[in-house]
């Protein structure tokens, strides 16, 4: 089952991302246009060899919320402005042979600048100077690249969830640029290792972002200066720079065409330093860079045409161009030039936009320079750092639950960064935290995750159960220690899991921390039986088909459906346990009355993910993620899509945990200060009992109790005696020794 789940999630993840790799092989120096419209190189300057993934991120379902920003009035926008030479801008970096351009422009340049300005706004006397090259103040591209790969949105989302680490603790190997290894697969461990030394990921959580804004040029019809919408975008870019923000952009660097030496001289520019991109000849070599200035009066002459206005851009190719900087003319960002002469089909047949997107974060409102309200550190040992993933959850006293999988694991099977098959040779299959390929011994890593996406500022640490689920796909993985902290860095609970549950070869193990005394329940993903509230009928397959949903009033024959979290779009996938069929609709038509059935997984269908929404009465709506106006309903004993009042009348469902998972057990201190095991055993299994075992924080068994439910509902309410004050890990097993609930970590006072 776990292999099936992993397979389905991997397919879903890969299906949602598409990109194009471009390897720079063309000259990026100056070119001179001949009379026949062809170009010849007039410079020996070439781009470094690199490979960058260029992803059209607006195809993802988790497009970020647009950031509101108060723009300056027109009279306060000067004709030129530059961030170069300020305290906050780091020196030009050199990505060498690594495809790290997105992390270079976002993490190294944009985030470094924003955090520095934010910290200086809070403390003008702070000793924080990225321009000096101080590695303690510059954020490391390795941190985001090795966890996300090369996608623009991927890098931003890593910073949102995990933050970023500074260069003094996280650097690629370097030799005149970042170094991966050689053609004989002698890989640099320093480059391919993860930043999982003790304290690394915890320190990174101190520097996160609330959000970012990504605007594609196609939203203004690829017309930066030749449309009103484009001019508004240009104004927005200028405003961001004037207010101290770096703007990340991207284009096709191998297709950029620059002023020839003769045109540089004709323009009165510096022939030794000025590098000016004047148009883009195709779509080769996706590359991200940073806009750090602009000049409306910057003028050049190209092909006899006088062009005016340009962006000052920071690259990541070391001492290339003008000490790492170059100009991009505004007109180069128009698909159709504002100058008729530069639209000649013979000369400029492959003309496209030089820059196709602009990404904004604002230092005054998007920087989060503090720890999350709660975070957890795992000390793990594994041979394969990619053989598992973690899901975090929190549940409050009203039974409102939230869960998410950190973005680090979302990109676990994408491109170069996190996953290792890009640098494996034939026969290799695993890599450790420290970068050892096909290690014979497990290596230890410390992974810290914040609950920042699950909490509200008005709530306190004690308001929640804090959940942790570790799913192992390719083990074994050993959990050496789990430590839970509050936002002040205070250790609230620390536990060494008992031997029975600390090493996982395949499958999942769950832990729940309870920092308060109020009762809280814990809902999570797993196997459920779906019962329609209105009809009382359950979902089960037809006798003649395992693919179609029908109803059955006998709960013993009801199908157990697997509810899994979709790693990509953070909705839910509902499928038949043990079969590769996913809850779907009859065809692509979304309308009332359309049959709901199981279809084989199809990456081209957008109707195979759902939003499982809990209602106030404890029932659920199963909303279609592609159009949340529609939900799963049961009308006349037939599962169909319903909307509007149909959801109210036919679309409420009760999710019953299947088998012994229907046992819901927790440990808490009641109002009298007694430590109680509380919950229930399924009514159908009256002879069943539960063994509650307590382990000390060091993993030693302290005590155990065999308890049975009482009454028709088999309610559990059993006092656990004989424990002194301390932190304990409680496990719950049935009469066959099977764990029936997540391990529960509680503070006994």
CATH of the domain at 387: 2.60.60
Selection from 557, 545, 574 nearest residue 653 by Cα = 574
CB 222 within 8 A of CB 335: yes
Q: Say how far apart CA 622 and CA 369 lie, in whole Å.
A: 37
pTM: 0.74
Q: Say how far apart CA 731 and CA 738 lie, in whole Å.
A: 10
With 90 as the cut, is the pLDDT of residue 339 above it? yes
Domain boundary among 514, 548, 573: 514
CB 149 within 8 A of CB 411: yes
In tens, the pLDDT along 581-631 reads 778 888 788 999 998 887 777 767 888 888 777 776 778 888 888 888 999
* Domain harbouring 541, CATH code: 2.80.10.50
Please check whether residues 497 and 403 belong to one and the same domain: yes
Within-domain flag for 12: no
With 70 as the cut, is the pLDDT of residue 263 above it? yes
Selection from 611, 570, 510, 744 nearest residue 161 by Cα = 570
Reduce the DSSP state of residue 406 to 3 states and report it: coil
CB 327 within 8 A of CB 312: yes
Rg over CA atoms, the chain: 29
In tens, the pLDDT along 495-535 reads 888 887 789 888 778 888 876 544 333 334 456 677 888 88
For 546-574, give the DSSP string. EEEEEEES-GGGPPPEEEEE-TTTS-EEE
In tens, the pLDDT along 151-210 reads 899 999 999 999 999 999 999 988 778 877 665 557 788 888 999 999 999 999 999 999
Q: In 561-586, which positions are buried (b, 16+ CB within 10 angstroms) versus exposed (e)?
A: bbbbbbbbbbbbbbbbeeeebbbbbe
Of the listed ranges 1-15, 315-329, 548-562, 691-705, the one predicted with least confidence: 1-15
Number of other CB atoms surrounding residue 733 within 10 Å: 18
44: pLDDT confidence band, cut at 50, 70 and 90?
A: very low
Within-domain flag for 350: yes
CA torsion angle for 643, 647, 650, 656 (degrees, to 10)?
130
What pLDDT does 587 receive? 79
With 70 as the cut, is the pLDDT of residue 395 above it? yes
Please check whether residues 66 and 142 belong to one and the same domain: yes
635 compared with 543, residue with greater pLDDT:
635
Within-domain flag for 568: yes
Q: Say how far apart CA 319 and CA 316 lie, in whole Å.
A: 9
Within-domain flag for 630: yes
Give the rounded percent of residues in the chain with a pLDDT score beyond 70: 75
With 50 as the cut, is the pLDDT of residue 236 above it? yes
SS (H, E, C) 89-121: CCCCCECCCCCCHHHHHHHHHHHHHHHHHHHHH
* Domain harbouring 711, CATH code: 2.60.40
Please check whether residues 606 and 680 belong to one and the same domain: no
Reduce the DSSP state of residue 504 to 3 states and report it: strand
64: pLDDT confidence band, cut at 50, 70 and 90?
A: very low
Please check whether residues 642 and 689 belong to one and the same domain: no
Q: Around 357, how many Cα atoms within 13 Å sit in the side-chain half-sphere?
A: 25
Considering its fold, how many domains does the chain have in total? 4
Q: What is the mean pLDDT of residues 79-84?
A: 98
What pLDDT does 56 receive? 36
Please check whether residues 634 and 670 belong to one and the same domain: no
Q: Say how far apart CA 152 and CA 288 lie, in whole Å.
A: 8
Please check whether residues 583 and 699 belong to one and the same domain: no
In tens, the pLDDT along 651-704 reads 998 877 655 444 566 676 666 667 788 776 655 556 778 888 989 888 889 999
Of the listed ranges 85-94, 388-397, 567-576, the one predicted with least confidence: 567-576
Please check whether residues 416 and 285 belong to one and the same domain: no
Please check whether residues 500 and 607 belong to one and the same domain: no
724: pLDDT confidence band, cut at 50, 70 and 90?
A: confident
447: pLDDT confidence band, cut at 50, 70 and 90?
A: very high
Selection from 701, 673, 710, 704 nearest residue 691 by Cα = 704
* Residues of the domain holding 688: 664-748
Sheet order of strands, 675-680 included: 664-669, 675-680, 715-719
Q: Torsion-angle region of residue 153: left (phi > 0), alpha (psi -120 to 50) or beta?
A: alpha
Please check whether residues 650 and 723 belong to one and the same domain: no
Within-domain flag for 3: no
Q: Rounded to the nearest 5°, which phi and psi values hold at 649?
A: -85, -35
For 214-283, give the DSSP string. EEEGGGGTT-SSSSHHHHHHHHHHHHHHHTT--EEEEEEGGGEEE--HHHHHHTT--TTT--EEEEEESS
Please check whether residues 209 and 233 belong to one and the same domain: yes
Within-domain flag for 260: yes
**Paired sense of beta strands 276-281 and 325-329, if any:** parallel
Within-domain flag for 2: no
What CA–CA distances, in Å, run from 346 to 26, 283, 303?
21, 18, 14
Residue 160 C-alpha from the chain's centroid: 8
Domain boundary among 657, 687, 720: 657
Q: What is the mean pLDDT of residues 711-728?
A: 77
What pLDDT does 658 receive? 55
With 50 as the cut, is the pLDDT of residue 58 above it? no
Domain boundary among 514, 535, 568: 514
Please check whether residues 69 and 102 belong to one and the same domain: yes
Q: Say how far apart CA 256 and CA 276 lie, in whole Å.
A: 9
Please check whether residues 562 and 509 belong to one and the same domain: no
Within-domain flag for 96: yes
Beta bridge partners of 376: 449, 484
What's the chain's average pLDDT? 79
713: pLDDT confidence band, cut at 50, 70 and 90?
A: low
What pLDDT does 152 receive? 92
């Amino acid at each position: 089952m776990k292999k099936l789940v992993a397979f389905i999630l991997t397919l879903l993840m890969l299906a949602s991302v598409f990109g194009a790799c471009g390897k720079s092989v063309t000259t990026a120096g100056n070119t001179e246009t001949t009379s026949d419209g062809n170009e010849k190189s007039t410079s020996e300057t070439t781009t470094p060899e690199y490979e960058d993934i260029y992803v059209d991120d607006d195809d993802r379902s988790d497009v970020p919320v647009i950031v509101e920003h108060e723009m300056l009035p027109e009279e306060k926008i000067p004709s030129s402005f530059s961030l170069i030479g300020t305290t906050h801008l780091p020196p030009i970096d050199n990505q060498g042979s690594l495809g790290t351009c997105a992390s270079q422009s976002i993490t190294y340049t944009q985030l470094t600048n924003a955090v520095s300005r934010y910290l200086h706004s809070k403390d003008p006397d702070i000793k924080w100077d990225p321009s000096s090259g101080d590695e303690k103040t510059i954020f490391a591209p390795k941190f985001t690249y090795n966890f996300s790969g090369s996608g623009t949105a991927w890098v931003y989302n890593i910073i949102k969830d995990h933050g970023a680490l500074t260069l003094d603790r996280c650097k690629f190997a370097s030799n005149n640029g970042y170094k991966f290894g050689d053609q004989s697969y002698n890989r640099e461990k320093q480059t391919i290792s993860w930043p999982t030394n003790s304290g690394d990921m915890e320190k990174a959580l101190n520097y996160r972002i609330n959000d970012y804004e990504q605007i594609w040029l196609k939203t203004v019809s690829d017309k930066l200066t030749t449309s009103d919408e484009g001019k508004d975008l240009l104004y927005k870019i200028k405003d961001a720079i004037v207010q101290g923000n770096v703007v990340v952009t991207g284009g096709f660097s191998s297709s950029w065409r620059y002023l020839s030496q003769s045109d540089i001289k004709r323009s009165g520019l510096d022939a030794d330093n000025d590098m000016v991109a004047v148009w883009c000849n195709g779509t080769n070599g996706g590359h991200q860079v940073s806009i750090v200035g602009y000049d409306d009066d910057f003028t050049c002459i190209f092909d006899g045409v006088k062009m005016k206005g340009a962006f000052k851009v920071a690259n990541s190719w070391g001492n290339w161009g003008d000490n790492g900087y170059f100009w991009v003319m505004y007109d180069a960002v128009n698909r159709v030039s504002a100058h008729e002469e530069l639209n000649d089909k013979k000369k400029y047949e492959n003309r496209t936009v030089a820059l196709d997107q602009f990404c904004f974060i604002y230092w005054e409102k998007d920087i989060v320079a503090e720890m999350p309200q709660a975070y957890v550190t795992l000390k793990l040992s594994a041979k394969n750092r990619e053989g598992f993933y973690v899901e975090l959850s929190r549940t409050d006293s009203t039974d409102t639950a939230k869960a998410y999988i950190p973005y680090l694991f979302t990109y676990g099977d994408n491109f170069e960064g996190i996953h290792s098959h890009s640098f494996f040779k034939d026969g290799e299959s695993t890599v450790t935290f420290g970068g050892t390929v096909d290690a014979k011994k497990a290596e230890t890593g410390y992974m810290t995750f914040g609950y920042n996406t699950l909490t509200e500022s008005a709530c306190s640490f004690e308001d929640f159960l804090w959940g942790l689920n570790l799913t192992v796909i390719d083990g074994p993985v050993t959990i050496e220690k789990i430590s839970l902290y509050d936002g002040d860095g205070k250790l609230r609970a620390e536990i060494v899991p008992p031997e029975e549950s600390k090493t996982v070869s395949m499958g999942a193990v769950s832990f729940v921390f309870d920092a308060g005394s109020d009762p809280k329940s814990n809902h999570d993903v797993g196997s459920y039986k779906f019962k329609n509230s209105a009809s009382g009928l359950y979902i089960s397959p037809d006798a003649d088909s395992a693919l179609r949903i029908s109803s059955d009033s006998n709960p013993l024959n009801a199908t157990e459906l697997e509810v899994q979290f979709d790693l990509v779009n953070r909705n839910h996938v509902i499928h038949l346990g043990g079969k590769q069929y996913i809850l779907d609709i009859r065809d692509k038509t979304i309308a009332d009355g359309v049959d709901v059935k199981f279809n084989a997984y199809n990456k081209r269908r957008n109707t195979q993910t759902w939003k499982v929404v809990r209602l106030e009465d404890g029932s659920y709506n199963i909303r279609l993620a592609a159009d949340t106006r529609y939900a799963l309903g049961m009308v006349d004993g037939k599962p169909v899509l319903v909307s509007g009042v149909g959801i109210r009348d036919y679309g409420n469902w009760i999710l019953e945990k299947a088998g012994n998972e229907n046992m819901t057990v927790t440990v808490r201190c009641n109002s009298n200060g007694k430590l109680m095991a509380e919950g229930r055993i399924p009514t159908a299994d009256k002879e069943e009992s539960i063994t509650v075992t307590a382990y000390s924080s060091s993993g030693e068994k302290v005590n155990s109790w065999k308890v049975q439910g009482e009454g028709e509902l088999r309610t559990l309410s059993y006092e656990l005696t004989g424990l002194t004050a301390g932190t304990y890990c409680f496990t719950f097993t049935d009469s066959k020794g099977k764990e029936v609930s997540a391990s529960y970590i509680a503070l006994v006072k």
